[in-house]
């Protein structure tokens, strides 16, 4: 009897190996080590004494990532690029392979982006990012609303305070930056008190602006993201329930088919036993129920045929 197990060098075996939990945990450890090495490379005293060792560790981590990506490409073929997370990993690792990456400061600094691969490895981080992507339409709408509020506020503040405070409110660009600073609540009360020395009614403009922009609109961003995470959890639970129902239904149909085949071979189950057994199986899909009803009708017809043959 020959084994049906695929050889170790087959695409399926390689893909199962590189996506296994053990290998992914190893990659997670390598990412953490690489992050620590990149951080140590910013310490000048360590670079003077152990620079060569740190560079070697960095290269080893990079080659481990390259081998992982290569194995995934071999195991999954073009299907590798159907996953956004695979494309993300491919781009992050590919940046380090740009010619001259070790010579240009900007490209050397981009090596730290490899730490972002933690997002694609750790499921909880992926869940947060998936929720953020899911919330993009809502975030875009709130951002548009905030932009309108900023523009209206900037035009008003430039007209009201530009003459006396030209450095902060002399033109539209300066006013937008000043209002952004106020929205972040970075020393906004000191700025307003300084304006009040010339315009005592200034709080009538700035207090509503802070209430609308900082305390209302920004909280809407949080609400949209939280709602997206809850919706993602609900979708995952629904998908898991559907998968479980489909698996139970497939198993039940296979069992009923086997029973029908056994009846045809003379190894029948008496109708009362079959009826009792049917009450112990529950199905989530109406299509499965119709399939079982058809199978029961076939079994009943076979039972009647066997009974008639025995009487004859």
* pLDDT tens sequence across 35-82: 999 899 889 888 888 889 998 998 999 899 999 999 999 999 989 999
How many of the other CB atoms lie within 10 Å of CB of 165? 20
How many of the other CB atoms lie within 10 Å of CB of 69? 18
Which of the four pLDDT bands, split at 50, 70 and 90, describes residue 257? low
**pLDDT value, residue 301:** 75
155, two tokens: 């035009």
Tokens 């981590």 identify what position?
61
Residue 162's SS3 state is coil
In terms of phi and psi (left: phi > 0; alpha: psi -120 to 50; beta: otherwise), the region of 185 is left
**Mean per-residue pLDDT for 224-245?**
76
pLDDT digits 0-9 by tens, 153-166: 999 999 999 999 99
Average pLDDT, the chain: 80
**Mean per-residue pLDDT for 256-275?**
51
Which string of DSSP letters, residue by residue, matches 170-234? SSHHHHHHHHHHHHTTSSHHHHHHHHHTT-TTTHHHHHHHHHHIIIIIHHHHHHHHHHHHHHHHH
- Taking the domain 11-121, which CATH number applies? 1.20.120.350
Residue 93 pLDDT exceeds 90: no
Residue 264's SS3 state is helix
Q: Where along the chain do its domains lie? A: 11-121, 136-230
Cα angle, residue 80 at apex, residues 76 and 86 outer, rounded to 5°? 130
CA–CA gap between residue 57 and residue 165 (Å, rounded): 55
The crossing angle, in degrees rounded to 10, of helices 218-264 and 123-134 is 110
- Chain-centroid distance, C-alpha 281: 36
pLDDT digits 0-9 by tens, 278-293: 444 444 456 666 766 7
**pLDDT value, residue 196:** 93
**pLDDT value, residue 252:** 56
68: CB partners within 8 A, 6+ apart: 18, 23, 27
Could you tell me the pTM of the whole model?
A: 0.58
CB contact at 8 A, 112 and 127: no
The CATH number, out of the four listed (2.30.110.10, 3.40.1550.10, 1.10.287.70, 1.10.3720.10), of the domain defined by the range 136-230: 1.10.287.70
For residue 64, which of 40, 93, 97 has the smallest C-alpha distance?
93
Among the listed ranges 22-31, 195-204, 296-305, which one has the minimum average pLDDT value? 296-305
């Amino acid at each position: 009897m020959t084994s049906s197990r695929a050889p170790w060098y087959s695409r399926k075996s390689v893909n199962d190996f590189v996506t296994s939990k053990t290998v992914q945990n190893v990659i997670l450890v390598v990412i953490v080590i690489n992050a620590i090495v990149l951080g140590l490379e910013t310490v000048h005293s360590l670079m003077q004494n152990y620079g060569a060792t740190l560079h070697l560790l960095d290269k080893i981590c990079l080659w481990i990532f390259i081998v992982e990506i290569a194995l995934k490409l071999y195991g999954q073929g073009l299907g590798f690029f159907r996953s956004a997370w695979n494309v993300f990993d491919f781009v992050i690792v590919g940046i380090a392979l740009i010619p001259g990456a070790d010579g240009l400061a900007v490209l050397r600094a981009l090596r730290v982006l490899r730490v972002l691969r933690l997002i694609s490895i750790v499921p909880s981080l992926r869940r947060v990012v998936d929720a953020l992507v899911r919330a993009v339409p809502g975030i875009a709408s709130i951002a548009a609303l905030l932009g309108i509020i900023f523009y209206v506020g900037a035009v008003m503040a430039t007209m009201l305070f530009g003459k006396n405070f030209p450095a902060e409110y002399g033109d539209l660009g300066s006013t937008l930056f000043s209002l952004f600073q106020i929205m972040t609540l970075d020393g906004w009360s000191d700025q307003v008190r300084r304006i009040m020395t010339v315009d005592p009614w200034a709080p009538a403009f700035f207090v509503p602006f802070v209430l609308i922009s900082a305390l209302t609109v920004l909280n809407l961003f949080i609400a949209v993201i939280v709602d997206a995470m809850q919706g993602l959890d609900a979708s995952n639970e629904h998908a898991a329930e559907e998968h479980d129902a489909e698996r139970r239904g497939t198993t039940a149909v296979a069992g009923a088919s086997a029973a029908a085949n056994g009846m045809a071979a003379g190894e029948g189950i008496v109708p009362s036993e079959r009826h009792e057994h049917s009450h112990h199986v529950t199905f989530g899909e109406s299509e499965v129920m119709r399939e079982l009803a058809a199978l029961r009708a076939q079994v009943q017809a076979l039972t009647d045929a066997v009974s008639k043959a025995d009487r004859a």
